[in-house]
Amino acid sequence: MELIQTMSEHFKLLGDKSRLTILALLREKELCVCDIVEILQMSQPSISQHLRKLKDAGLVSETRKKQWIYYSLNIGDKPHIQTVLEHIPSLKSKLDELENNKDRCC
């Protein structure tokens, strides 16, 4: 029953388009908040709030590199999340556009 409760909470988080998109982006590579802000065209506080919820649920982890915090997926032990992400369209083209932008923050 505990696993079902955890899965239910995870699926509720994935019910939000922004959080689902963030996970799809992180499936491709680790990113800092400013990268996600640039791609989703949302405010930094809003993105940070979504990332906090995903981190609190154990779906993402963070790593500090100098003054920047980078986020990556943490779903190795969550096959139900892996399966969902397998069915989400790739956002690699959005990341490629970001890479070509010279004004990146980090």
pLDDT in tens, the chain (106 residues): 999 999 999 999 999 999 999 999 999 999 999 999 999 999 999 999 999 999 999 999 999 998 889 999 999 999 999 999 999 999 999 999 888 875 666 6
Determine contact, residues 5/57, Cβ cutoff 8 Å.
no
Domain spans of the chain, in order of start: 2-93
CA distance 44 to 38: 9
Extract the tokens encoding 78: 């969550």
Contacts of 67 (CB under 8 A, 6+ apart): none
Structure-block tokens of residue 54? 């995903």
SS3 83: helix
Q: Which class would CATH give 2-93?
A: mainly alpha
Helix (H) or strand (E) holding 72, with range, is: strand 68-73
